[in-house]
Amino acid sequence: MARPLSAPASARVAIGLNAVLASVEDQRPKVLCARGPGRLFSLPYGPFDPERHRTFEIGIREWVERQTHVNLGYVEQLYTFGDKGREAPAAELVGGEASDRVVSVGYLALAAEPAAIDDATAAWRDWYDFFPWEDWRRGEPAMLSAVILPGLFAWAAQARDESAAENRRARIRLAFGLDRDGWEEERTLDRFEVMYEAGLVAEATRDRKTASRPLEGTGLEMASDHRRILATAIGRLRGKLKYRPVVFELTPPTFTLLTLQRIVEAIVGFELHKQNFRRSIEQSGLVVRTKASIQQTGGRPAALFRVNRPALTDRAGKGLAIPRLRQAPAFTFPGAEA
């Protein structure tokens, strides 16, 4: 079992740090974007400099905070992306020579509010601009059954043999909740990857040279594999909500329970049962009622709450209950499936 202490020089690669800096504003989940090569949106990216940064996290915090003046409350490593071909498009712009391998470590960071960005090349974007099919707050997104699922089924049908086709169908079922489990909001990445493989998103046609054209309604393209990273981040955040009290990294100092609910809904992408949401939040002990209350437009004034900081560290083990409304009616699988 070889254990070389250092890799051959040929094996050196550059490491980049990608940040998905998320925030919720006005019932919209936002992500900080830059304009990459070819005017594509991209995630803010900074090289990791081993000379200056003792850890990745220090590196990420430093350059994000310096460039955006946003104080990162919460930072979490997402995934390390090292697939070949990630940088292919860039290499081709440069002239077709074999591109340097760039490995990037993706981070998820949360900010309480989308601070003004002083850089004209950067802006906060609603993350559903990139994943319109992920927002079910106003019901099932139309492009799902109109465009995406038909496209996926066609792709499944093109498989070389029946076993491969069944395999593709199973992946579609799982990712899009066509089986008894229904739509699982945290499968964001699975959904994007199936769509990518099926050639339904712009990145797919760009990365391969094949002619399958991306469809309308499959969201905005991003540079490199940034949309995949963003999908990973959304899925991770959606999952994390349930078992860690991370929402409070996104809340203002004081908020009503409905505000809190809207923030959660913006992230998970569907509406919650109001009364049950309050019940579980109040029981959790993660928030405390302040004496103040606030009246929004028409309606009984709402009590203002604030985070119960000590409970946050003590009970870091608990997340929020996500009381769904009636399970969205599962799609029926056209042909071949029940």
Write out the binding residues for a copy of itself, residues 77-96 only, by CB under 8 A.
77, 79-80, 82-85, 90, 94
CB neighbours of residue 321 within 10 Å: 18
152 class by beta-carbon count within 10 Å (0-12 exposed, 13-18 middle, 19+ buried): buried
Pick from 201, 203, 195: nearest CA to 38:
203
Determine, following the binding rule CB under 7 A, whether residue 293 of this chain makes contact with DNA: yes
Residue from the set 258, 306, 311, 333 that interacts with DNA by CB under 7 A: 258
Q: What CA–CA distance (Å, rounded) separates 73 from 78?
A: 16
Closest to a copy of itself by CB, 51 or 162? 51
What's the closest the beta carbon of residue 202 comes to a copy of itself, in angstroms? 20
Nearer to DNA, 253 or 299 (CB): 299
Q: How far apart are CA 61 and CA 52, in angstroms?
A: 13
Name which position in 8, 299, 317, 329 contacts DNA (CB under 7 A).
299
Among 31, 73, 100, 283, binds a copy of itself (CB under 8 A): 100
Smallest distance from the beta carbon of 267 to DNA, in angstroms?
Answer: 17
Distance of alpha carbon 248 from alpha carbon 308, whole angstroms = 10
Q: How far is the CB of 159 from a copy of itself (least distance, A)?
A: 15
**Coil, helix or strand for 60?**
helix
Look up residue 246 and give its DSSP letter. Answer: G
Residue with tokens 């590196």: 59
Question: Which of 292, 327, 334, 336 touches DNA (CB under 7 A)?
Answer: 327
Select the binding partner of residue 209 from DNA, a copy of itself, none (C-beta < 5 to 8 A, by kind). Answer: none
If the CB atoms of residues 2 and 211 are measured against a copy of itself, the closer one turns out to be 2
Using the contact rule CB under 7 A, the part of the chain among 23-31, 109-117, 130-138, 319-327 near DNA is: 319-327
Using CB under 7 A as the binding rule, whether residue 256 contacts DNA is answered as: yes
Return the biggest CA–CA distance within the chain: 71
Dihedral of alpha carbons 288, 294, 295, 297, sign: negative
Binding mask 105-144 for a copy of itself (x = CB under 8 A): x-------------x-xx----------------------
- Decide if residue 295 touches DNA (CB under 7 A): yes
How far apart are the C-alpha atoms of 303 and 305, rounded to whole Å? Answer: 6
Q: Which is nearer to DNA, 110 or 257 (CB)?
A: 257
Residue 41: C-alpha distances to residues 31, 66, 113, 275, 302 (Å): 11, 20, 21, 39, 39
254: which DSSP letter? S
CB 306 within 8 A of CB 254: yes
Rule CB under 7 A: is residue 296 a binding residue for DNA?
yes
Distances (CA, A) of 159 to 149, 171, 197: 16, 13, 12
CB of 304 to a copy of itself, least distance (A): 26
Whether the Cβ atoms of residue 217 and residue 132 lie closer than 8 Å to each other: yes
Q: Which of 14, 58, 154, 303 forms a contact with DNA (CB under 7 A)?
A: 303
Under DSSP, the state recorded for 216 is T
Using CB under 8 A as the binding rule, whether residue 338 contacts a copy of itself is answered as no
Pick what 5 binds: a copy of itself, DNA, none; C-beta below 5 to 8 Å, kind-dependent: a copy of itself
The interface region with DNA, picked from 130-138, 158-166, 193-201, 293-301 by CB under 7 A, is: 293-301
Binder to DNA among 39, 326, 335, 338 (CB under 7 A)?
326
* Nearest CA-CA partner of 200 in 168, 232, 247, 166: 168
**What residue ranges bind a copy of itself (CB under 8 A)?**
1-8, 10-16, 34, 36-37, 42, 44-51, 53-56, 67, 77, 79-80, 82-85, 90, 94, 100-103, 105, 119, 121-122, 167, 170, 173-174, 179, 181, 184, 313-318
